[in-house]
Amino acid sequence: MADAPAPSRPAGGPEAVLADFFARRGAVPLDAPMLQPAEPFLDAAGDALRRRIFLTKGDRGETLCLRPEFTIPVCLAHIAEAKSLPRAYGYRGLVFRQRSDEPAEFEQAGIEDFGDADTAGADARAIGGALEALAALGLDPAGLDLLVGDQNLFEALLEALDLPAGWQRRLLRSFGDEARLQATLTALAAGGAAGRRSRLDPEIAALAKPEARPALEAAIAARMEAAGLPPFSGRTPAEVAGRLIEKRLFAAAGLAPQALAILQDFLGLECPLSEAGRLLRAKADEAEIDLGRALALFEARNAALEAAGVDLAAIRYRAAFGRSLDYYTGVVFEARARGSVLPLAGGGRYDRLLMLLGAEAPIPAVGFSLWLDRIRQIVDPQEAAR
C-alpha cells in the first residue's frame, strides 16, 4: 500500500496521535453534539443505519437520536456556520448504533473534506489519509485488506444502458448490499413473476399505479394512523406510495438479456486496482458502451494515489462493492484486518449530501472514519479488554 515506517505502539496514545494527524492534514477539530435531530439520518442515511438508530424525544417534542455517525453532524455544523471553502474537519467521539455482536456505544474518529474541486486528488487524499492514520495508530499495512468500489461508475453504466429511471433508482438503492443487488437483478430478469408473488393488501395493491397515487397516499396515511405509527417511524405516506408504485412497475417489466449480461459481467469484476482501469475499458469496448467521465475520473484517482505513494497492486477493486449508507455518490473504500469483513476504516465521496441537508449550493465532499474500538483490539488487545 503506501510506503510507511514500520508500525509501533503510538507514542502518547491515540489522542496525541490523532491530534497530530489532524494538524498535519489541516483538519479543523469539530465536536458535534451527542444528541442530534433524527430527521437528517432517517432521510439521508438509508435503511441499514435507520434500523440501528436510538431515538428519543426532546423537551419541545422534537425527534432526536443519539449520534449514530459523524458525517451528517459535521455537514450540519458546516452549513450552520457557513465557513469558507475548501475546509477539512477532524472529529473524535462516541457514536451509538444497535449492533448484534459488538457494544452499541463505540468510538470513531475521522476527517470530512469539503469544497475541493479536484475530485480525484481529494479522493486519493482520503484513501491515503485513512491508511496513514491506521499506520500512525500502530497497524501494520501489510496486515490489512483494502477494498475499493465506485458508485459513480455503476451509475454511469446504468445510464449508458439507457435503463428506465425507475429501474436505475432501484438498482442504485441496492448498491452497497451485494446480496440485495443480485436479488434486484434477478427480479428484473424475471419480469412480472415478482409482481405475482406480491403480499400487498389487495386494496393497496389495486391503488399502486401512477394514476391512483393521491388515493394510494391517503390509504397509506390512514393505515399508518390506525396502526399508531409515529411520524418519525421512517417514511412519509408519499414516500411509501412512491416506492410501492415503483416496485409494481419494476415487477411488471423485464430486463433484456443483453443488458442483464452486461450488468452481471461488470458486477463480477474483482481485480487489483492497478489492473481495474484497463479491464473496465475492455469491458466497455466489448459491450459498446461509453462510461465517459466516470471512467476518466476513476483513472485520474488511481494516478493521484500512485503519485501519493500508494501501491495500487495491494488494493482490491470490486465493481459490486458499495457501503451501506445511502448518501455515497462516488468512490467508496474500506480497510479491514486481513480476512475480516469488519472495517477498521471506511469512507467515500458524498457530493449531494450537503445540498440535501440545506446547503445553498453543491459542495463536493469526501471523508473517512476510523473504528477506534476495533483498532485497539488489534494493536493492544489487553488494554481494549479492560
Tens digit of pLDDT for each residue in 230-262? 554 557 888 887 777 666 665 555 577 888 899
Q: How far apart are CA 3 and CA 17, in angstroms?
A: 18
Q: How far apart are CA 333 and CA 128, in angstroms?
A: 11
Indicate the domain borders of the chain.
13-152+329-384, 179-255
Q: Which whole-number Å values give the CA distances from 233 to 1, 25, 53, 60, in the listed order?
A: 43, 39, 11, 18
- Is 324 exposed, middle or buried (CB count within 10 Å of its CB: 0-12, 13-18, 19+)? middle
Per CATH, the number for 13-152+329-384 is 3.30.930.10
Lowest mean pLDDT among 66-70, 209-213, 247-251: 247-251
Strand 55-57 and strand 63-66: the pairing is antiparallel
Distance of alpha carbon 331 from its chain centroid, rounded? 9
Lowest mean pLDDT among 72-81, 85-94, 192-201, 249-258: 192-201
Higher pLDDT, 129 or 212: 129
Higher pLDDT, 217 or 355: 355
Residue with cell 514500520: 6
For the beta carbon of residue 37, count every other beta carbon within 10 angstroms: 16
* Residue 332 neighbours by CB under 8 Å, 6+ apart: 148, 149, 150, 151, 176, 321, 322, 323, 346, 347, 348, 349
Residue 294 has which C-alpha cell? 466516470
Lowest mean pLDDT among 30-39, 117-126, 239-248, 315-324: 239-248
